[in-house]
Structure 1
Amino acid sequence: MNTQALGVEYYLAGMRAALDDLPPNEVAEIMEDVEAHVAELSTELGENETIEQRLGSPEQYAQELRSAAGYPPRTERLPVTTKKKLLSRPRAAAWGLAIATGVTLLAGTAALREPAILLLPGVILVLSLALVHDRGATQAEIMALPETIKIKEWLTPEAGTPAERALAYLRSLQPAWWLARAGLLGLGAVLLASRDILGFLFVAAIAVVSVYAGPRAKTDRRWLWFSLPASALAVGLLFQVIDTTADNLAYNNRSVYQQVPSMPQYENIYAYDENGKLLTNVLLYDEDGNPINAPRQYYGCSGDDPQPMIPANRYPRPKIDYENGTCYTVAPDVSAPSSTEDTPPSSSDAAPSSPVSPTSVSPSK
């Protein structure tokens, strides 16, 4: 470290000592603006000029800032004899951030079905951030918590180890993750567009702001209350999209192998009365009065050949023959195909008849 930097650090340390009777958060707020000013001033000094010549001693400059901010004159700090509170404002805010991030991850897996579930982690985040929003951008009190220090130790492996190299590589991918996160959130918004317009607008707004929040959180720790839950929501949405896609693929595969029952097709219908006698010229209709028409196929009757004009719902239908280039109708045999086993038609009840040979060339009406 050069002489100039040492002078700046020495001057700032003297100011902190002169302000140490104030609450830590107020000292941090004062020093946040002073550090940049003193560092900039040190670059403008002459060859033999010092910071004290410009600003006065650290104690004097600290007293000026204290008076300008409305703080009382310095008093000696009394030794702290009371036990620290277990749940302080910084700890409540830190744990609120951790809990809200976990809840957002779980909520993200169901957000496409019920977007209103995101209100729960949103309320937790707002309340926890409100506890420390006025403590400055660095959030020094939260960074000084024992649990925060422990996490930083876990995330700072020894130099030269594989874990350190892997962590350094992952940190280099942060800009790519910020874009991927915005893409996942945008996909979730698109999937919500047709079902929940408010959910679509909410998730789309998170996607847009997340692009700005990523790099901003590195200098202003208050943005972590947005950036971390946004990442958790993106991961939760990714899990839900994967699960939904897998279900759709499995459903489609089942549909391919599922046999579709085929409906029987009839070309003719034979009706019998209660005595087993074949009925002729029967017209059939459904419950809506529509004719019940079985398929008709006139083999050979094409082109300019006349086709018999037979009502499509008259049964039993005559047989259509094609002979010498002309279509003929042949009356159906009264000895029709056998009926069901329960009511077999009796040959004695049906009047005998012989097949009718081809007759007129004119179509039957």
Structure 2
Amino acid sequence: MTVTEQEITDYVARVRAALADLPPDRRTELTEDLADHLTEVAAEAEGTLVERLGEPETYAAELRAAAGVGAGGGRNLDQRVATAVVRVRGQLRAIDTRLGPPLGYDTASEFLRLLRPAWWVLRGYLAAMLLTVISTGGSFGVLPRFGGELLAGLIMLVGFVLASIWLGRRSAQLTRWPRSAVQVGSAVLVVFALSALMQAEDRMRYGDYGIDPTSINGPYDQIRDVFVYDSEGRLVENARLFDQNGNPIRLGYPDCEGSVDEYGNPLLRPYPYCPDRPPFGPRGPRLPQAPASTPSASETPIGTPTPSVPSASPSATPSDGPTPTPTS
């Protein structure tokens, strides 16, 4: 079995962790040529370093004895932390090696390196969405918006993606603290992405019940029910609302008795959800309309002239002249 350089590095790290209670100069003096020595030992014969030299902690004790340095009164905090870090790194490396072959690579980290450009783009998008949530007070969609403006959000998205790509290509050149800051920021974005996915899942489950949440900026953001009245002030039941494209409009949420089923889901019912709670008085019956009147025989049609009958004088007065003709 060939000993790799990574195994030599891990062995040296564990030895230095076991000597963490010594002054830094003394510890560096004892482990200065340790890597070269381990390389020579690995080249001499087959087998792992642990099989040939023992555990790193045992080897560190031998170095103490050879240098005449007694063991400390106890393992200090730095030594315990360093040992724990080395163990965690060893376990992660074992997992990395175990997951590599199913992906077609020696280690899983080799496969993840190919996905780094995609992660750079995704990191810029998540940063833009996080700023969208901050600037809009918690509301967000698929595209980022800065202060509710889509154009400003798209400009912000392009800038963040380019900055993320530039930072990713130069991450190897960063010093310790800038690199740590980038890692912490990436972890925050990953947590934000998971929380956003959980919120989107809740929205989908809420929408499956037929009550789609509607965001309305103004006095209608607290709608619980919708009551429709006709021109005569009568309540209209079984009403449905549609937009100009024929899509149903769902507002409010039923909270009256009988508006949910046995599982607690709102029923798909028209408006109003609670017809016994009208805001403008009780529901009245529809008033009957008066029948149309027909003209009777005693009524005289308007505009029809009435013929006049000439009246004759009861007695005629004789005279010498001609008899006058009665006129109407």
Pick the TM interval, shorter chain: 0.3 to 0.5
Higher alpha-carbon Rg:
2
Q: Report which structure shows greater RCO (CA 8 Å, sep ≥6).
A: 1
TM-score computed with the length of structure 1 as normaliser = 0.32
